[in-house]
Every structure is written in structure tokens, then in C-alpha cells.
A = this chain, B = another copy of it.
């Protein structure tokens, strides 16, 4: 930890631009938003960011550590994100690759409400990796989705979530789907949880989250980059429901030379904002994360961070059920494997779920 916010950027200056000028511009752009010449001595001494170090990484690429005084971010999450990357997102060749968080911020943001430990209590799963799947596709009726939910629950899946594209479409309106799926999961043997997708504007997100709590759900799914990062804190503080965060839209941040590194956005920021579990596209699936990145992200979600609870990594995105034991071994038990399409491809959902469950129990 650190006493002030420290951001590390990878900088790729344009031709003719020095790395020092580029770093110095960030210290002003992200705080005072004025040229230095216009600042009073009082402001100049207290408010702009401070360059702690600049080190060469590679041909044309440097790492710059910038410390921001407490005045700029304050202790609110959105303003902190704004300081870390808001306006400079519109400039070229700046990538946020690391953040050191002051204790005051960690305490103010709070992080996961239940974390991995709480999820073990909710599901009753002590030792093994947890299993999750998705109800899909959009277009099915609430009844059809609920019958999928029942089969998955009976087959031994621990967390059964809505597909993140299920909102409030007329084919399966939210309230009808919530009631049907939650009832289906409760009726099945076991401790399976149903996680409805509450992503929506306000006040709909509030209404749907409250409805989920009333229906007996213990966790919900949300797309924080659509509904706003702070919706996770609201859910945590006002309902106590566990939060499964979906990475929809996050890919725009992940350019190799610009944006925010996945382990900072999906790792630190999602965790700080209150996610108990974070879905990410596992290596080898439909998306482009490599193994080293997945390992870093898992580490970041679970690493000690002030007094924050550990968050559960949820690798997903086209994982083959047959490889689940391999992933469980590689990623460790404090992981949730989210497997959807590969179960649907087997036809008999209950049997497919049971086979998967048996396979991961065998290695627990």
C-alpha cells in the first residue's frame, strides 16, 4: 500500500515528443487541466501529479510512475478512475498498467461484499472449484429458461446465471423469468444459486435487484461498464447480494498500446467497486486473452489488497467442459469455471452438468 495514489503508465511518445513532456502533460491534464504557466504557486505545489520515475521498457516505450495528491481523486471511486485515465483516454500512446492504492481509498471503496469465502458459504462448496453456467439463448420463454435452470441445478452446477443478453425482452420478461428460474433452482436438490441479470438503467436496476432479493436470490449478474461501475457498490450496500461482474464492452480498453490493462480494469477496479466474482475470457476460447494474462488476472483478483476480500476469478468464453479438470488444477480451487456452450452442445443438460461436476470432484 501507499499513502497516495500512484499510477504506472506505459508511454509511447509520438515522433518529436519526449517521454518527459508526455509524462508531465499527464500530471496536469489529469488534475488541474490547465497549463503550468496559469497556476498559482499554491496550486502548483499541491495539486498536479508528480513524476516519481521514468524507465525505458523497449524501443519507443517507457514506464512512468505518477503520484497524484489526495486533492485530485478525493476518496470517490469514479473521480479516482477519472484521474487515473479520464481525459488522457483521448490522447495517444498512454496505457495504465499498474496502480498502487492508498489505504484510505481501499477503506472507502470497500471491495467485495462476500468474496470467495462468502461464496463458499452460500453454495456450501468447501474445497473444490465452483461451477457456473448460463441460461440461454435469448428468445426462449421464461419457462424454457427455467427448465434449463432445473436441469443444470439437478446436474450439480453451483451458480446458474442469466446470459448477459437477457434483459427484459418480451420473450422472457425480467420478473417472469426471475420467478420461474429461482423457483426451478430452489426445487432442485442442492445449493445451486440462480443469478438474474439486473443490468439496466435507473431505477430499473434498483427494482430488479430488490425483486431478486425478495424472490430469494443470493447473487445477481451485472455488466458494470454498461450500468456504471458504482452499481456494484449500490447492490452490495443496499441488498447484501453477491455480485457477478460481466466484462461486456471491456474490450475497448485492451489495446496493446493504449487503454487500461485487463488486470487493472477487471482486476483492481471491478474488485474495488464491489464485484465478488469477475468473468473474463479464458485463453483458448472465443476471445484473445493469453495464458500469462489470465494468470495475472487471477492473481490480481485474489492477492492481498488492504483489508479487501479476495474476489473469485471466473474464466469463461467458450471453455470446453472436457478441459475443466485441467483449468481447476491450473487456476486452483478458489476459481469459478463458467461453462455454457460446451454443455449445450452435449444435448442432455443434466447429464452434461453431472459429468462436469464428477470430473471436478475427482480432482478436489
Copies of the polypeptide in the assembly: 2
When chains A and B are docked, how far (Å) is the Cα of A92 from the Cα of B255? 10
Q: How far is the CB of A178 from chain B (nearest CB, A)?
A: 16
From known contacts A201-B76, A230-B201, infer whether A34 and B89 are also in contact, taking CB-CB under 8 Å.
Answer: no
When chains A and B are docked, how far (Å) is the Cα of A91 from the Cα of B260? 16
When chains A and B are docked, how far (Å) is the Cα of A15 from the Cα of B254? 20
When chains A and B are docked, how far (Å) is the Cα of A46 from the Cα of B138? 10
When chains A and B are docked, how far (Å) is the Cα of A194 from the Cα of B167? 37
When chains A and B are docked, how far (Å) is the Cα of A203 from the Cα of B228? 12
Please report which residues of chain A, range 118-162, place their CB below 8 angstroms from some CB of chain B when the two chains form the complex: 134, 136-140
Structural contact, B32 and A138, CB atoms closer than 8 A: yes
When chains A and B are docked, how far (Å) is the Cα of A38 from the Cα of B76? 45
When chains A and B are docked, how far (Å) is the Cα of A345 from the Cα of B34? 9
Interface readout for A65-87 with B: 1 if CB under 8 Å, 0 if not?
00000011010111101110111
Structural contact, A201 and B233, CB atoms closer than 8 A: yes
A140: chain B residues within 8 A (beta carbon): 43
A88: chain B residues within 8 A (beta carbon): 251
From known contacts A29-B286, A252-B259, A286-B29, infer whether A341 and B35 are also in contact, taking CB-CB under 8 Å.
Answer: yes
| A362 lies within 8 A of chain B by Cβ | no
A228: chain B residues within 8 A (beta carbon): 201-202, 226-228, 230-231
When chains A and B are docked, how far (Å) is the Cα of A317 from the Cα of B136? 44
Q: How far is the CB of A234 from chain B (nearest CB, A)?
A: 5
Please report which residues of chain A, range 74-120, place their CB below 8 angstroms from some CB of chain B when the two chains form the complex: 74, 76-79, 81-83, 85-92
Interface readout for A200-227 with B: 1 if CB under 8 Å, 0 if not?
1111101000000000000000010011
| A331 lies within 8 A of chain B by Cβ | no
- Chain A interface residue count, CB cutoff 8 Å, equals 83
Structural contact, B90 and A139, CB atoms closer than 8 A: no
A175: chain B residues within 8 A (beta carbon): none
A136: chain B residues within 8 A (beta carbon): 32-34
A32: chain B residues within 8 A (beta carbon): 136-139
Which stretch (A53-61, A183-191, A242-250, A300-308) binds chain B? Answer: A242-250
Q: How far is the CB of A45 from chain B (nearest CB, A)?
A: 10
Name the residue of chain B whose CB is nearest to the CB of A89.
B251
When chains A and B are docked, how far (Å) is the Cα of A317 from the Cα of B29? 10
Structural contact, B165 and A83, CB atoms closer than 8 A: yes
From known contacts A168-B74, A252-B258, A255-B258, infer whether A137 and B31 are also in contact, taking CB-CB under 8 Å.
Answer: yes
Structural contact, A92 and B288, CB atoms closer than 8 A: yes
From known contacts A38-B341, A72-B138, infer whether A251 and B90 are also in contact, taking CB-CB under 8 Å.
Answer: yes
Structural contact, A249 and B81, CB atoms closer than 8 A: yes
From known contacts A92-B288, A340-B33, infer whether A203 and B234 are also in contact, taking CB-CB under 8 Å.
Answer: yes
| A309 lies within 8 A of chain B by Cβ | no
CB < 8 Å neighbour of A78 from B38, B223, B259, B340: B223
Kindly name the residue among A32, A170, A223 whose own CB sees the greatest number of chain B CB atoms within 10 A: A32
Known: A87-B248, A228-B228. 5 other contacts (CB 8 A): A47-B137, A71-B169, A86-B223, A91-B251, A226-B228
24 contacts between A and B (CB under 8 A): A31-B138, A31-B165, A33-B163, A34-B137, A34-B344, A35-B345, A43-B140, A71-B139, A71-B169, A72-B138, A78-B201, A79-B200, A82-B165, A82-B167, A82-B249, A90-B247, A92-B288, A202-B230, A202-B234, A228-B228, A252-B252, A252-B253, A252-B260, A255-B255
